[in-house]
A and B are shown apart, each in its own frame.
Chain A
Amino acid sequence: MAGTAHREPARPDLAVSIWRGDAGGAYADYRVPQRANQTVLDIVTFVQREIDPGLSYRFSCRVGMCGSCAMTVNGRPRWTCRTHVSKVAKNGRLTIGPLANLPVIKDLATDMAPFFQKWQAAKGVFSPSKTRHDAIEPIKPSSPERVAADAGVECINCGVCYAACDTVAWNADYLGPAALNRAWTLVNDVRDTGGKERLRAVSAAGGCHACHTHQSCQQHCPATLNPTASIAGLKRATVQAWLKGEIEP
């Protein structure tokens, strides 16, 4: 309307607790003004820019692509750039901590190294069957293998599922939902040659057979993937390979 200044209705400040320090740290309390369409990442950014520049956290794309902004918000792991405060604040309160199941470096920044080491241990790296000099292999999008691979391929490596998985918390060797989901996409990739070695890696101790089928990983995955289904696929594939004598127990 012409001449009418757009003004947001006054809202009470949010009471925000943010983890400060390393594993032995504690929560510190802040008051942050509420805005319309505010995300949890906006809150953290406000605290760092306006209250304490020493606050450490990670983000990059702010649109749910890069997977670097995951934190624990009111007890649940979430991607903070796509999580609206209005959806998760309880009575005007927010508690924001680092992702669980990973070493805390400082404040909201965790060390993602174990997460990616397990990705490697699960043979989550593509082993090509062709070189750049070969013709591109035509892959039918509707083939069952490609459909299975496509179902898990949009992982953004955010670590949310890894933080939501109690088997990771209880078994330090467990490869975790993201690495196993990645392995399953490669098991279904007909261009890949690492099959047997990968099945061996994911069926060893700490592999797919350690999964308890909680589906916490699926329930929390912001990319709406279903690592539990991928892991069930690995369980079948490894047992079949074992029955055929292709891998040892």
Chain B
Amino acid sequence: MNAYLSAHRASILWFAAMAHRLSGIGLAAFLPLHFLALGLALRGEAALEGFLRWSDMGVVKLAESGLVFLLVVHLLGGLRLLLVENFSWRSGQSKLAAGAAALAGLVAFLFLIRVL
């Protein structure tokens, strides 16, 4: 019965809540890959070397900077929620959330420039 209700979602803070969830899921999904890389280091130099060469590819670097974005946006979004839930109310939450997303984008972009 929700088909006619949708315009209420067009808000920065609604997207902030969704971005926080999705970035959390994204980071959780990445963890196994992270452990795989660490595991390869245990198996020996050759295996790790192969993995590191694979991670040298442009598209993988792009994915990595996406990961950096998820990490920073999740971290800053989490800090904003801690602020809301543990201290007295502050207005301007939309600006804080937009700032967090912009900062995460900037950090991810700088990361990409450095690794490329």
Complex interface: chain B residues within 8 A of A220 (CB): 8
Contact of B4 among A75, A169, A212, A236 (CB under 8 A): A75
A104 on the B face (CB < 8 A): yes
Enumerate A2-54 residues with CB–CB distance to B below 8 Å: 19, 23
B84 on the A face (CB < 8 A): yes
Enumerate B1-29 residues with CB–CB distance to A below 8 Å: 1-2, 4-9, 11, 13-14, 17
Separation of A77 and B1 alpha carbons in the complex (Å): 14
B113 on the A face (CB < 8 A): no
With A100-B1, A104-B1, A214-B17: A229-B8 Cβ-Cβ less than 8 Å = no
Verify A100–B4 contact, CB threshold 8 A.
yes
Complex interface: chain A residues within 8 A of B7 (CB): 74-76
Contact of A216 among B8, B81, B84, B89 (CB under 8 A): B8
A215 on the B face (CB < 8 A): yes
Give the interface residue-count category, chain A: 20 to 34
Enumerate A92-131 residues with CB–CB distance to B below 8 Å: 95, 97, 100-101, 104
User: By DSSP majority rule, is chain B's interface helix, strand, loop, or mixed?
Assistant: helix
Chain A 67-85 interface mask (CB, 8 Å, partner B; 1/0): 0000010111100000000
Separation of A229 and B13 alpha carbons in the complex (Å): 14
**How distant is B87 from chain A, measured CB to nearest CB, in Å?**
9
Separation of A207 and B8 alpha carbons in the complex (Å): 22
Verify B5–A72 contact, CB threshold 8 A.
yes
Contact of A75 among B6, B81, B84, B89 (CB under 8 A): B6
Verify A213–B84 contact, CB threshold 8 A.
yes
* Residue total for B at the interface (Cβ-Cβ under 8 A): 19
Verify A215–B13 contact, CB threshold 8 A.
yes
Contact of B5 among A77, A228, A229 (CB under 8 A): A77
Complex interface: chain A residues within 8 A of B14 (CB): 166, 214, 216
With A23-B1, A104-B1, A166-B14: A213-B81 Cβ-Cβ less than 8 Å = yes
A226 on the B face (CB < 8 A): yes
Complex interface: chain A residues within 8 A of B89 (CB): 226, 229, 232-233
- Looking across the interface, which residue of chain A has its beta carbon closest to that of B14? A214
Chain B 64-95 interface mask (CB, 8 Å, partner A; 1/0): 00000000000000000100111001000110
Q: Can you list 27 pairs linking A and B with CB atoms under 8 Å apart?
A: A19-B4, A74-B7, A75-B4, A75-B5, A77-B8, A100-B1, A100-B4, A100-B5, A101-B1, A163-B5, A164-B8, A166-B9, A212-B17, A213-B93, A214-B14, A214-B17, A215-B11, A215-B13, A215-B93, A215-B94, A216-B9, A216-B11, A216-B14, A219-B8, A220-B8, A229-B89, A232-B85
